[in-house]
Amino acid sequence: MHALRVLSVAAEAFPLIKTGGLGDVVGALPAALAAEGVEVRTLLPGYPAVMAAIGDAPVVHAYDALFGAPARIRAAHAAGLDLFVLDAPQFYARDGGPYAAADGGEWGDNAFRFAALSRAAADLGRGVAAAFVPDVVHAHDWQAGLAPAYLHYGAGARPGTVMTVHNLAFQGQIGGELLDALGLPWHAWSIDGVEYYGAIGYLKAGLALADRITTVSPTYAVEIRTPEGGMGMDGLLRHRARDLTGILNGIDDVAWNPAADPHLRAVFDATRMAPRERNRAALRSRMGLAATPAAPLFGVVSRFTWQKGMDLVLQSIGDLLSGGAQLAVLGTGDATLEQAFVDAAARHPGRVAVHLGYSEDLAHLLQGGSDAILVPSRFEPCGLTQMCALRYGALPVVAKVGGLADTVVDAGVAAIRDGVATGISFYPVTREKLGWAIGRTLALWQDQDCWHRLQAQAMVTDVGWRNPARQYAQIYRALAARR
């Protein structure tokens, strides 16, 4: 019997293409699953960065017309990943991001760009590449949501299907009149099929039709079944509760290892913390913050969106500064938030600093040089920044929602006494509660012995992929056994 084979389908995979945690997770899962005896191939769209990495890789399947134009599936190994790449220039050969042009406008044909990806996944699922016939097709987020639908409505034997929700806020919808153009049969237009409030819902289709559903933390798996957290899908998710599992993400512990991180000024670990001070100093000087080693340094690494509560950080700058702290922010996104951070930095030179943009390098230095990392998300399916923070001894100050609630143990009196506290959490997610959490963090900072114990505890938190990979493997095996 061959090893279990899984085709993972997504719009991003680090290090080839990433806009957020989805890319990290899809990029890290294959190696973690290999350790569980699962052979993973990842299907990605042939964006320019992906095509450049695979060169002239062999074609394993060709379409005369895939939604109107020729396309090929290529097989390649690049950036440590075993890949299938959908080489469809009419959809992917363009400058800009995976979902939007450089000016921020979403590509008008996203529905077809990602229907094409899902169609290719389904065809691979049915064995068009004889060298790799998967037992399971694993679809990530709405961009891959139609893959379970194409498999469900197609004829003959099919592999098992898993739909993973990384973020329920992005659902992917298109007008119902396009059912035929998408190659879906008329009977797919139903409440048990792809129909969603009068449109075709990509994520909805995946949630309705995949054999199993997972999401990226146990708490988010509960939240999305409530009207408050369900974003319109809670009814369906309650209905499918028996097939829904929350599996916490991990982080790549090779890329995120403070003991061997080329982005740091000085490497360190839980038993050698003194060099960390040099990262604090380097971060201050790089960001243009005053050289005041006694001041606690708060960091932020985030997309600037409503989800991430960045407006609450702006409103809490007064609390930070009156407590003698400094703030270093790295992020990009909403233009209003970007401008507001630039203005705040101009108002408080040397005490508040912002770097707009995406920088892997600075993200690592921020984790290795900040004393605390703020993550006041209004909702957070899992969150990876707080896990990096734990590993790098930057105490996470987090909203107690989703995966943040599952990864950070609040420094309450009992948790400190029992040696299990790893950060500070607060709820509900309001400006007042964030201010209160900042106040508690500043109070803890006054007791440096206690702070160091919290850091040491944070740094031994298990944020690896081993346990999560085991849980995914279990789901795959159960599906493969059923066939």
**Chain centroid, CA 248 distance in Å:** 11
What sign does the CA torsion over 88, 90, 92, 94 have?
positive
| Euclidean distance between CA atoms 178 and 190, whole angstroms | 14
Task: Tell me if 468 contacts ligand ADP by CB under 6 A.
Answer: no
Task: Tell me if 25 contacts ligand GLC by CB under 6 A.
Answer: yes
Task: Tell me if 245 contacts ligand ADP by CB under 6 A.
Answer: no
Task: Tell me if 166 contacts ligand GLC by CB under 6 A.
Answer: yes
User: Smallest distance, Å, CB 169 to ligand GLC?
Assistant: 8
Q: Which residues contact 474 (CB under 8 A, 6 or more apart)?
A: none
Of 15-23, 128-136, 174-182, 282-290: span binding ligand ADP (CB under 6 A) = 15-23
Closer residue to ligand GLC, CB minimum distance, 4 or 25 = 25
| Euclidean distance between CA atoms 390 and 460, whole angstroms | 8
From the list 29, 382, 389, 408, which residue makes contact with ligand GLC (rule: CB under 6 A)? 382
Q: Which residue is nearest to ligand ADP (CB)?
A: 21
Q: Which residues contact 262 (CB under 8 A, 6 or more apart)?
A: none
- Residue 205: which of 242, 165, 166, 177 has the closest Cα? 165
Task: Tell me if 380 contacts ligand GLC by CB under 6 A.
Answer: yes
Residue 216 contact, options ligand GLC, ligand ADP, none, Cβ 5-8 Å cut-off depending on partner type: ligand GLC
Closer residue to ligand ADP, CB minimum distance, 115 or 310 = 310
From the list 17, 116, 224, 384, which residue makes contact with ligand ADP (rule: CB under 6 A)? 384
Q: Which residues contact 33 (CB under 8 A, 6 or more apart)?
A: 6, 40, 469, 472, 473
| Euclidean distance between CA atoms 426 and 438, whole angstroms | 10
Q: How would you classify residue 71: left for phi > 0, otherwise alpha for psi between -120 and 50, otherwise beta?
A: beta
Q: Which residue is nearest to ligand GLC (CB)?
A: 21
Task: Tell me if 217 contacts ligand ADP by CB under 6 A.
Answer: no
Closer residue to ligand ADP, CB minimum distance, 173 or 332 = 332
Cis peptide before 15 (omega within 30 of 0): yes
Task: Tell me if 167 contacts ligand GLC by CB under 6 A.
Answer: yes
| Euclidean distance between CA atoms 94 and 78, whole angstroms | 20
Task: Tell me if 330 contacts ligand ADP by CB under 6 A.
Answer: yes
Task: Tell me if 246 contacts ligand GLC by CB under 6 A.
Answer: no
Q: Which residues bind ligand ADP (CB under 6 A)?
A: 20-22, 24, 301-303, 330-332, 358-360, 363, 382-385
